[in-house]
Amino acid sequence: MRGRIYIAAALLLTASPAAAADEPPICADRPGKANPTCTVPPGMIQIESGLADWVHDRSDGVTTSSLSLGSTAFKYGMTDRWNVELDVAPYNWQRVREGGLSQSDSSFGDIYIRSKYRFTSGDGVQVAMTPAVKIPTADHQIGNGKWEAGIAFPIDYSIPKTPLGITLGPEIDWIADADGHGHHAAMVQVIGLGLQASDKLNLSAELWHQWDWAPSGTTRQATADVAAAYLVNKNLQLDVGANFGLNRETPDEELYSGVSVRF
């Protein structure tokens, strides 16, 4: 996240610093692909919304552009180590151009149900588990119409006496075959380096890789990513980011911005 822009704007207008005074600042899964191990405090609601996400690719004479608006994760803290999550993507648009032909489609996106449980607490290495299930609610022009699932194990380590932190994101997914007649395994690995540049500004850089072991043959995608998150106040964060494809099988570039709010 995975509801339009006006919903996010309304949240900004209505959100207030209602968290308990001893709660740490908001910790969101966005920006970036390497999710942190932190969870939403018990009894609190957290909403993380992608205001706009644009992807562009040009390969073998085919140009593909896509835009997602208002993709939002709704989270609720169950305990001090566990939160549940519902991701929705209300508007997704895609255009494919080849030669003199062009086709555009738009649709509500797929819905994801996620959960995050943090195994550790305190200092040192932190480890969490994040299972997810995709409900195929998108039109077939945008989605594949198939149920899918996956599980990730975020790992955080804050380097002592420095403003630096390392995040790893190993993940195994169960995704549909392209012909729609079965499923196969895919794996994701991401390593991120974060810099706490100030009390309010965090900068990060990541390398992301995916291996898709489809019956028709293995494909690999890879990106180099950068992002910045700005803490407006204890319960409100703004972010921007950019991802750049490193091989022909990966979209050339992705640009996005978003907001996260907690109350």
Give the domains, in start order, of the chain with CATH numbers: 5-262 (2.40.128.130)
Work out the average pLDDT over 191-199.
Answer: 97
Average pLDDT over residues 130-155: 95
Q: What is the mean pLDDT of the chain?
A: 91
pLDDT in tens, 21-55: 578 999 999 999 999 999 999 999 999 999 999 99
Q: What percent of the chain has pLDDT over 70?
A: 92
pLDDT at 69: 97
Check residue 5 and give its pLDDT.
34
pLDDT of residue 121: 87
Asked if pLDDT for residue 196 goes beyond 90, the answer is: yes
Is the separation of the CB atoms in 184 and 65 below 8 Å? no
For residue 58, pLDDT over 50 is answered with: yes
pLDDT of 9 reads 37
Does position 13 have pLDDT exceeding 50, yes or no? no
- What number is the average pLDDT over the span 84-106? 93
Above pLDDT 90, what percent of the chain?
83
For residues 215-224, average pLDDT: 95
What's the pLDDT tens digit per position in 66-80? Answer: 999 999 999 999 999
Give the pLDDT of residue 60: 85
Tell me the pLDDT band of 140, cut-offs 50, 70 and 90. confident
Q: Cα 238 vs. chain centroid, distance in angstroms?
A: 14
